[in-house]
Amino acid sequence: MQKILNYINGEWLDSPTTEYFEVINPATGEIIARTPLGPASVIEAAARAANEALPGWRRTPVQERVQYLFKLRDLMKANADEIAQAIVNEAGKTFEEAKAEMVRAYENVEVACGMPMLMKGEISEDIAPGIDEIMLRQPVGVCATIAPFNFPGMIPFWYLPYALAAGNTYLVKPSERVPVTMQIIFRLIEQVGFPKGVVNLVNGGKESVDAILEHPVIRAVTFVGSTSVAKYIYSTAAAHGKRVQAQGGAKNPVIILPDADMEMAVKITADSAFGCAGQRCLATSLAITVGEARNEFNEAICDAAASRTVGYGLEAGIQMGAVINQASKTRIEQLIGVGASEGVSIPVDGRGTVIKGYEKGSFVRPTILMDVQPGSETWQTEIFGPVLGVMHVNSIEDAIALTNSHRYGNQASLFTSSGAAARKFRYEAEAGNIGINIGVAAPMAFFPFSGWKESFFGDMHGQGMDAVEFFTQKKVVVERWPKEWSRKF
Ligand code: NAD
């Protein structure tokens, strides 16, 4: 069994706790690790180390700071297979999905390596005779990320490389459900040789999160997870005077117009709904057919769902892995049951899935809930599993109105061959990420990543220039140098 340690001030340390969370391989049901849950003294030690490291790291020239990130990027790339294997074994994904996750992780490191350019200040000379105005970007201080289970390798990298490159010091708290991936990544961080205390790993659950939110030295917090926790993080961190961004849950629709390339729309919708077993914040969970698109789409999406190969993600040919644990499987199956009681038909039903050889795994096969009704529980609730609700409307206006009536706004997609329809949708849809003939509109590392409405609480987003904004604070300097003084020289 893998031992889960914290990495604080350049040292691997055990947690002084008797409380643990059992980490189970979702495909095999084996216990693979035990995550120490707290105590708060771990956060205290990490925050202190990060605070002590701050002046030295801040004074390290930015072009030197990014040299550490260049090394980290190379190590992440060279060790991508080992990291991906850990992701499969703790998060239940397929190997290809886990590899793809790591690509986006190191792409963020690559973008952050541009920090000498990205955090450069501005100057206006002679705003009045002999007076110049300068805008500097300085680091915020000690920052922390609280991460969810579904992308154990990638999500901390929406933030960490930008924070470090900008001169902040850092704490990462992974989800207690998937602590192993960060153990491997922090071995690489150790190999890079960052100065002690610059980047720290802290494992734990709610007690650790609360200690981060309340710690006076931690100046900025990023969170990714469910909406209920995101709201809590946002309000608690703000009450403690911190800069905060909190990404929440989602219920992402795709709209299929009658003029769509139907083969493409079905394939991409199925990949979006069932990839990563539906446990992606950008997974499609509702398909809304418009007019004549209905019959052809409904038949084909059922075939696509039923033909997906489900199993252990390290085996060849597997298209979909397990959901995170038995509790999640039970919750997903209960929500499918709620759909049945609400009167939807279930032409493809993934409940009760057992995979031969992996009988203890938490598998749910792809499921289609046909004719979900607006306002029903299956329409409102994020199921976070391989379950696609299908709905029908008569016009693009109705489809956009339905999309915009949802409390979430993470992503919305449209399948069409009409430029005018695409433009209307792009203009009117209320979501932070829009796909046009795309099922997972995941922004590249140099674009901001975030949702709208109840999918996001905050202002600046993750990745790219937004992350630079989040992890720097602007200082404006107005300087007077009278002309007559320069005559002395
Ligand atoms: P979660 O909210 O259960 O946990 C996220 C983190 O919060 C973990 O580190 C956990 O230790 C901590 N936490 C959990 N309960 C807490 C509490 N009561 N108080 C304080 N901290 C607490 O989320 P999850 O199940 O790990 O992740 C899945 C969710 O994340 C889904 O809702 C998904 O949509 C969302 N997500 C959103 C995005 C996005 O970009 N919007 C990306 C990935 C995942």
- For the chain, how far is it from start to end, CA to CA, in angstroms? 71
Ligand 1 atom with minimal separation from the 382 CA: 32
As a whole number of angstroms, the distance between CA 230 and CA 457 comes to 7
* pTM summary value: 0.97
User: For residue 81, which amino acid is it?
Assistant: D
CA of 225 to the centre of ligand 1 (A): 2
| Residues 456, 246 contacting (CB under 8 angstroms) | yes
Condensed to tens digits (0 to 9), the pLDDT of residues 363-415 reads 999 999 999 999 999 999 999 999 999 999 999 999 999 999 999 999 999 99
Q: Whose alpha carbon is nearest atom 9 of ligand 1?
A: 175
pLDDT of amino acid 486: 75
If we measure between CA atoms, which residue out of 277, 294, 278, 298 comes closest to residue 345?
A: 298
As a whole number of angstroms, the distance between CA 149 and CA 171 comes to 17
As a whole number of angstroms, the distance between CA 212 and CA 233 comes to 10
The strands making up 345-348's β-sheet, listed across from edge to edge, are: 345-348, 367-370, 387-393, 284-290, 252-256, 411-415, 433-436
As a whole number of angstroms, the distance between CA 287 and CA 266 comes to 10
CA 283 to chain CA centroid, Å, is 12
Condensed to tens digits (0 to 9), the pLDDT of residues 67-114 reads 999 999 999 999 999 999 999 999 999 999 999 999 999 999 999 999
As a whole number of angstroms, the distance between CA 309 and CA 321 comes to 9
As a whole number of angstroms, the distance between CA 213 and CA 242 comes to 8
As a whole number of angstroms, the distance between CA 260 and CA 101 comes to 29
Condensed to tens digits (0 to 9), the pLDDT of residues 223-266 reads 999 999 999 999 999 999 999 999 999 999 999 999 999 999 99
Condensed to tens digits (0 to 9), the pLDDT of residues 442-485 reads 999 999 999 999 999 999 999 999 999 999 999 999 999 988 88
Q: Work out whether the CA dihedral 374, 378, 384, 388 comes out positive or negative.
A: negative
Residue 489 scores a pLDDT above 70:
no
Residue 48 scores a pLDDT above 90:
yes
CA of 77 to the centre of ligand 1 (A): 27
The encoded tokens of residue 69 equal 């990130």
Phi, psi at 395, each rounded to 5°: -150, 160
The encoded tokens of residue 253 equal 């629709």
Residue 487 scores a pLDDT above 90:
no
Within 10 A of 295 (CB to CB), how many other CB atoms are there? 10
- Please state the three-class secondary structure of the chain as a single string: CEECCEEECCEEECCCCCCEEEEECCCCCCEEEEEECCCHHHHHHHHHHHHHHHHHHHHCCHHHHHHHHHHHHHHHHHCHHHHHHHHHHHHCCCHHHHHHHHHHHHHHHHHHCCHHHHCCCEEEEEEECCEEEEEEEEECCEEEEECCCCCCCCHHHHCHHHHHHCCCEEEEECCCCCCHHHHHHHHHHHHHCCCCCCEEECCCCHHHHHHHHHCCCEEEEEEECCHHHHHHHHHHHHHCCCEEEEECCCCEEEEECCCCCHHHHHHHHHHHHHHHHHCCCCCEEEEEEECCHHHHHHHHHHHHHHCCCECCCCCCCCCECCCCCHHHHHHHHHHHHHHHHCCCEEEECCCCCCECCECCCCCCCCEEEECCCCCCHHHHCCCCCCEEEEEEECCHHHHHHHHHCCCEECEEEEECCCHHHHHHHHHHCCCCEEEECCCCCCCCCCCCECCEECCEECCCCECHHHHHHHCEEEEEEEEECCHHHHCCC
As a whole number of angstroms, the distance between CA 119 and CA 117 comes to 6
Q: Work out whether the CA dihedral 261, 267, 268, 272 comes out positive or negative.
A: positive
CA of 392 to the centre of ligand 1 (A): 31
Residue 331 scores a pLDDT above 80:
yes
pLDDT of amino acid 397: 98
Condensed to tens digits (0 to 9), the pLDDT of residues 117-132 reads 999 999 999 999 999 9
Task: Give the residues across from 7 on adjacent strands.
Answer: 12, 201
Residues with CB under 6 A from ligand 1: 146-150, 173, 175-176, 205-206, 209, 224-226, 229, 232, 247-250, 281, 382, 384, 410, 451, 455
Ligand 1 atom with minimal separation from the 455 CA: 41
User: For residue 22, which amino acid is it?
Assistant: E
Within 10 A of 88 (CB to CB), how many other CB atoms are there? 25
Residue 155 scores a pLDDT above 70:
yes
Q: Whose alpha carbon is nearest atom 20 of ligand 1?
A: 206
Peptide bond into 374 cis (omega under 30): no
Give catalytic residues, as residue numbers: 281
As a whole number of angstroms, the distance between CA 378 and CA 373 comes to 8
Region 4-8: what's the mean pLDDT? 98
Condensed to tens digits (0 to 9), the pLDDT of residues 17-34 reads 999 999 999 999 999 999
Domains of the chain, with CATH numbers? 2-248+455-477 (3.40.605.10), 252-436 (3.40.309.10)
Give 300's contacts (C-beta < 8 A, 6+ positions apart). 262, 263, 266
If pLDDT is split at 50, 70 and 90, which confidence band does 38 have?
A: confident
Task: Give the residues across from 393 on adjacent strands.
Answer: 290
User: For residue 385, which amino acid is it?
Assistant: G
With the most atoms of ligand 1 within 8 angstroms of its CB, the residue from 203, 224, 282, 440 to mutate is 224
Q: Work out whether the CA dihedral 197, 198, 204, 210 comes out positive or negative.
A: positive
Residue 295 scores a pLDDT above 70:
yes
Tell me whether strands 472-480 and 131-139 are parallel, antiparallel or unpaired.
antiparallel
With the most atoms of ligand 1 within 8 angstroms of its CB, the residue from 93, 178, 202, 209 to mutate is 209
As a whole number of angstroms, the distance between CA 238 and CA 61 comes to 31
Phi, psi at 446, each rounded to 5°: -90, 10
